[in-house]
Chain A
């Protein structure tokens, strides 16, 4: 059974049709990506899942329950980092754990061993404006991961990183994901990233977003930290083709 099930959802925001009859699902332990052009409505899908926006038609369920009755939280990483400027980095990192009722001291103990991997060692007592954009994004990703909820919603988690750091963080994330098997929904407009990380990819059209393709990536894992397979190359080419020739018909 699907953990997340979005069926025939349409959304109009301020008179603009944003999502048009979107259907997608994510199975337990599956890694699914949403790939689409900028402004398509990818973040809007997350806003529906986190309850920040309402859909006009269609249904969204989580573990078969309507979303409203299912408020035990996601590990959600918003597109903008949403770090609290009044909290030091360490206290931003432990926010999700504090909400789960974990004592601040124990929460810190969980976060501390991961600081080095995220390049945040020595910056725990800085305030967010003292960090670079890439560091802030890594802090936001770490804040998300330590929550360790069964469902992860990641909105362009690697977008602000330089190419080298991005590859490192992706590899780190894949390793971690293989161990934890979170049910993961990732938003990206990076074709290579989608192919490297996902089991399945939904491609969205320009706004109003429709699902114009669904692509499986059967390549074996781990995929990062080794040369891209011929199969993955072929899928990347196929996805680019779809994105570039968006005419609306599903191939």
Chain B
């Protein structure tokens, strides 16, 4: 029973080795296939060619990554705020939850392909429609996770707080909210993987700049290598965001790691 438990970075790295190996070998097979079959780079460019394109077009890619990142972050910030605000409101007002929840479910059934052009039509080619689309796509998993998390609070802890004379608000702050955090992070991890994709899709439909525009232009000028270069950047962005949430989770849910290492 030490208070500072070992962090085990070594084991964390070792656990990543199989993933790295499988990714590297997939790219190797792809590279070998392209070289041996002599398939045209207009059909399927080799990974090495995609990498070359990233280096060659780094200025273009960077200039267009910034707007995508902006849309992603702004959209995510909006959806995070709305998810938290709504979840608190729904928790305090069960009748509102019953009234609004079906609407949120319906909002998730709207096909992005259909809704994105409309949102662009209504809000123009600027940041706004992208932010809205990212928020629309990412807010539901977080909202559901929070609402479920509040409901999963240990009833004995709530009974205890009530016996102490705690108000509903304090019970929420000290019991229901912390109980929901593990659920919230599960929802957050799902949301974050949608965020960049949603931003790129919104750009693809109509924007002045962004990775979505790079992909659109590259496709129209028959440059699959450049399309894939932009795809690599977008995947890298998602991975970085995913890693950031994992880090934040580690800090916020430190109490859970402690229980597991016993």
Residue numbers of A with Cβ under 8 A of B are: 47, 50-52, 71-74, 76, 78, 80, 82, 84-87, 95-96, 98-100, 123, 125-127, 129-130, 147, 153
Q: Are B259 and A71 within 8 A (Cβ)?
A: no
Q: Which residues of B contact A71 (CB under 8 A)?
A: 165
**Given contact pairs A82-B156, A99-B174, A130-B262, a sample of 10 additional A-B residue pairs in the complex whose CB atoms are under 8 Å apart:** A73-B164, A74-B163, A80-B156, A82-B159, A84-B178, A85-B255, A95-B161, A125-B3, A126-B1, A126-B3
Q: Are A82 and B154 within 8 A (Cβ)?
A: yes
Q: Are B163 and A153 within 8 A (Cβ)?
A: yes
Cβ-based interface call for B58 (8 A): no
B residues contacting the other copy or chain, number (CB 8 A): 25
Q: How far is the CA of A85 from the CA of B256 in the complex (A)?
A: 8
Q: Are A82 and B157 within 8 A (Cβ)?
A: yes
Q: How far is the CA of A178 from the CA of B43 in the complex (A)?
A: 88
What is the minimal beta-carbon distance from A85 to any residue of chain B, in angstroms? 6
Q: Are B163 and A95 within 8 A (Cβ)?
A: no
Q: Are B157 and A84 within 8 A (Cβ)?
A: yes
What is the minimal beta-carbon distance from B12 to any residue of chain A, in angstroms? 21
Q: How far is the CA of A164 from the CA of B156 in the complex (A)?
A: 29
Question: Which residue of chain A lies nearest to B257 when distances are taken between CB atoms in the complex?
Answer: A127
Q: Are A73 and B159 within 8 A (Cβ)?
A: no
Q: Which residues of A contact B164 (CB under 8 A)?
A: 73, 76, 95-96, 99-100, 147
Question: Which residue of chain B lies nearest to A88 when distances are taken between CB atoms in the complex?
Answer: B255
Q: Are A86 and B178 within 8 A (Cβ)?
A: yes
Cβ-based interface call for B258 (8 A): yes
Residue numbers of B with Cβ under 8 A of A are: 1, 3, 154-157, 159-166, 170, 174-175, 178-179, 181, 255-256, 258-259, 262
A-B contact pairs, 28 of them (CB 8 A): A50-B162, A50-B163, A52-B162, A71-B165, A72-B165, A73-B165, A76-B160, A76-B163, A78-B159, A78-B160, A80-B156, A82-B160, A85-B255, A86-B178, A86-B181, A87-B178, A95-B164, A95-B174, A98-B174, A99-B161, A99-B164, A123-B1, A125-B3, A127-B255, A129-B258, A129-B259, A130-B258, A130-B259
Q: How far is the CA of A125 from the CA of B175 in the complex (A)?
A: 19
Q: Which residues of B contact A100 (CB under 8 A)?
A: 164-165
Q: Which residues of A contact B162 (CB under 8 A)?
A: 50-52
What is the minimal beta-carbon distance from A244 to any residue of chain B, in angstroms? 32
What is the minimal beta-carbon distance from B237 to any residue of chain A, in angstroms? 31
Q: Which residues of A contact B3 (CB under 8 A)?
A: 125-126
Q: Which residues of A contact B165 (CB under 8 A)?
A: 71-73, 99-100
Known: A72-B165, A84-B178, A86-B181. A78 touches B156 (CB 8 A): yes
Question: Which residue of chain B lies nearest to A98 when distances are taken between CB atoms in the complex?
Answer: B174
Q: How far is the CA of A72 from the CA of B154 in the complex (A)?
A: 22
What is the minimal beta-carbon distance from A14 to any residue of chain B, in angstroms? 15
Q: Which residues of A contact B174 (CB under 8 A)?
A: 84, 95, 98-99
Q: How far is the CA of A129 from the CA of B178 in the complex (A)?
A: 16
What is the minimal beta-carbon distance from B142 to any residue of chain A, in angstroms? 19
Q: Are A84 and B175 within 8 A (Cβ)?
A: yes
Q: Are A47 and B259 within 8 A (Cβ)?
A: no
Interface centre among B163, B164, B258, B259 (most CB of A within 10 A): B163
Question: Which residue of chain B lies nearest to A91 when distances are taken between CB atoms in the complex?
Answer: B174
Question: Which residue of chain B lies nearest to A53 when distances are taken between CB atoms in the complex?
Answer: B159
Q: Are A85 and B159 within 8 A (Cβ)?
A: no
Q: How far is the CA of A160 from the CA of B159 in the complex (A)?
A: 21
Question: Which residue of chain A lies nearest to B165 when distances are taken between CB atoms in the complex?
Answer: A73
Q: Which residues of B contact A72 (CB under 8 A)?
A: 165
